[in-house]
Amino acid sequence: MNASIKKMRGIAVFDMEIVGDYSVVAKIESSLKDWAEQFVKDNGNPQKGISGLTVVGHQAAMTDRRGDKTGPVEKIVFRN
């Protein structure tokens, strides 16, 4: 890697409000996972997709909503 090029990280956040039961949530979660798989196929391979982009992982998960809104992405704390 060129020393003047900095390695960067990108995340995507969709803050959704879903009215429905867990079957609706499961359909949306499945759709997001399918979308992520297609994004990786289209863009995540350095030889095939966007130059300089390698998708190192992806995931989609839904949970009960707590609070009215999500704060800025810069302040989200990701825990393992």
Mean pLDDT rounded to a whole number for the chain? 77
CA angle 52, 53, 56 (to 5 degrees): 135
Q: What is the pLDDT of residue 3?
A: 65
Least confident of 26-30, 45-49, 72-76: 45-49
Domain tally for the chain? Answer: 1
In a 13 Å sphere around the CA of 52, the CA atoms on its Cβ side amount to 8
List CB contacts of 20: < 8 A, sequence separation 6 or more.
none
Average pLDDT of span 53-79: 72
pLDDT at position 9 is 76
What local confidence, expressed as pLDDT, does residue 24 receive? 92
3-state secondary structure of 26: helix
49 domain residue, yes or no: yes
Say if residues 40 and 58 touch (Cβ distance below 8 Å): yes
CB atoms within 10 A of CB 58: 14
The answer to pTM > 0.85 is no
Domain membership of residue 36 as a residue range: 22-65
Q: Is the pLDDT reported for residue 46 higher than 80?
A: no
Q: Which of 9, 58, 56 is nearest to 32 (CA)?
A: 58
Mean pLDDT value of segment 31-37:
86
In a domain, 16, yes or no: no
